[in-house]
Amino acid sequence: MLRDKVRTLTYRLALVRAKRRLTGGVLLDVGCGTGILSMFGAKAGASRVYALDGAANLCKLAREIIAENGLSSRITVVNGRAEDVQLDVDCVDAIVSEWMGHALLFENMLPSVLHTRDRFLNPPPSANITDLSAWRRERLFPCRTTLYIAGFSETPSEGYDPEESRYSIDEEGLWDEISELYEVNLTGAFASAARNDSETQIYVDLMDPKCIITRDSEIATLDLATVSPNELTEHGVKGSFALESMGTADLRGFVIWFTVEFPDGDILSTSPYKKPTHWQQSLLYLSETLSLVQDDVLSGEIHFTHPTEAPRDLAINIDFVMNNSEETRVKRTYRLSS
């Protein structure tokens, strides 16, 4: 992830902009990894940084990197779970975390960050804070996040080479070819199972903007100063959308991306219209294409959850119609497994 310059430099700039609030304060880095954000926080003025991670091997590496940068006296690496970790302070002045996964919620790290928010991100009684949410919003990095959706087609726009498309999952003839190569029949049950898996999988890839055929729609916005970790765990994230077709094309599926916003207005975007990040975009394929003409509207609901038996996985349920016609209703469930 350190190779993701968009991600890393946005965090760095956000912490630098908050220098006035961080100077002399205590910063908690949740899921610190190599400790890069902890070091950014220390250089932005935090007098004490707690770098928290559940992986012992990463904590060991972070300590070594922090020592090499001469910051061991200000950064304490803590190996533990965010939900029950004990610090030698009762409260911190700010929290930074790079918790986002593919389609924002994959790997389900956000509730852990919110638990640390509720436990540690509290002003001292002497501060006389009347609006706790507003106070926290200035001290959460990031403080807000938004999910987006749009429709895409395999029909190439002008200047786009279809031979270079990474978005096709058309397996016609594939299993015939493989069966012939291996001299084993894989065209029946195996091909059917593979087809079902490919049609219910969340694909992670870069989407060429030329393939997007609808206007995008905001799905949901989460205010990280107020959203409840228990609510996220129990109900997931729900949203609705309305996508207006920008021309005549065959809808092949939906592309999902997100943005996160920092207290002083810096925005980290995973949009296909922006510079690529390691999150790329998340693609949901339909089992059959849907023909659209100019100004057709796809409207529906989408629900992000984490399966009980595999809470780090991500399930996405989508339910939509075209032009408010019940005859066109499509319901699909997709999954991304860790």
Return per-residue pLDDT of the chain as tens, 338 residues.
789 999 999 999 999 999 999 999 999 999 999 999 999 999 999 999 999 999 999 999 999 999 999 999 999 999 999 999 999 999 999 999 999 999 999 999 999 999 999 999 999 888 888 999 999 999 999 999 999 999 999 744 443 343 444 445 555 577 788 888 888 887 888 777 766 666 789 999 999 999 999 999 999 999 999 999 999 999 999 999 999 999 999 999 999 999 999 999 999 999 999 999 999 999 999 999 999 999 999 999 999 999 999 999 999 999 999 999 999 999 999 999 98
Residue 75 pairs in a beta bridge with 49
The pLDDT, as a whole number, for residue 171 is 59
The pLDDT, as a whole number, for residue 186 is 79
Distance of alpha carbon 64 from alpha carbon 59, whole angstroms = 9
Catalytic residue positions, numbered? 98, 107
Q: Which amino acid is at 97?
A: S
The pLDDT, as a whole number, for residue 180 is 85
Residue count of the chain: 338
DSSP 218: E
Using DSSP's 3-state secondary structure scheme, residue 4 falls into coil
Distance of alpha carbon 5 from alpha carbon 46, whole angstroms = 23
CATH 2.70.160.11 residue spans of the chain: 146-155+201-336
Cβ pair 287, 275 in contact under 8 A? no
Q: What is the β-pairing status of strands 202-205 and 217-223?
A: unpaired
Q: What is the β-pairing status of strands 75-79 and 249-261?
A: unpaired
CATH 3.40.50.150 residue spans of the chain: 5-142
- We find that the CATH architecture of domain 5-142 is 3-Layer(aba) Sandwich (3.40)
Helical spans, DSSP H, in 253-310: none
DSSP 278: T
- CATH number 1.10.3720.10 given to 146-155+201-336: no
Tokens of 198: 């490919």
